[in-house]
Amino acid sequence: MPTNGRVMEGTLLAGRRVLVVEDEALVAMLVEDALLDAGAEVLGPVRSVPEALALMAKQVPDAAVLDVNLDGVPSTPIADALAAAGVPFIVATGYGIDGLPPGHAGVLVLAKPYDPVALTQALAGFWPAPK
């Protein structure tokens, strides 16, 4: 429900399936909590390229939060698969814009550490606001 033109936190991502790809357990838990608080269904979190691609083969997310470096392995194959499926995603990285996967220059970047509210609001921006 809108309040003063803003959607209440628990409904911001209601009904949206968001894939979380993050190799740092504490960061993954914080992201998961923020997404659940915003009403999202969390897919994962997953910690590797094979895990993410296997999960995506079973269930296509509505959006994703993608760490670019998964224990030293670039997550570019996940970014490529998300883009091919038309799934919007946010890159969460400590590398800033320089950390973007090759070929994905237009993707939204959140520099670590980031505010969980900024994450949920950025994800909500992928869809029209509820009326």
In the chain, where are the structural domains located? 16-124
Confidence (pLDDT) at 130: 61
Contacts for 15 with CB less than 8 Å, ≥ 6 apart: 39, 41
Confidence of residue 19 (pLDDT cuts 50, 70, 90): very high
What is the percent of the chain with per-residue pLDDT over 90, rounded to a whole number? 65
pLDDT of 20 over the 50 cut: yes
Using pLDDT thresholds of 50, 70 and 90, give the confidence band for residue 10: low
Asked if 45 and 28 touch (Cβ cutoff 8 Å), the reply is yes
Whether this prediction's pTM lies above 0.85 is answered by: yes
Kindly report the CATH class assigned to 16-124: alpha beta
As a whole number, mean pLDDT of residues 34-50 equals: 96
pLDDT at position 51, please?
97
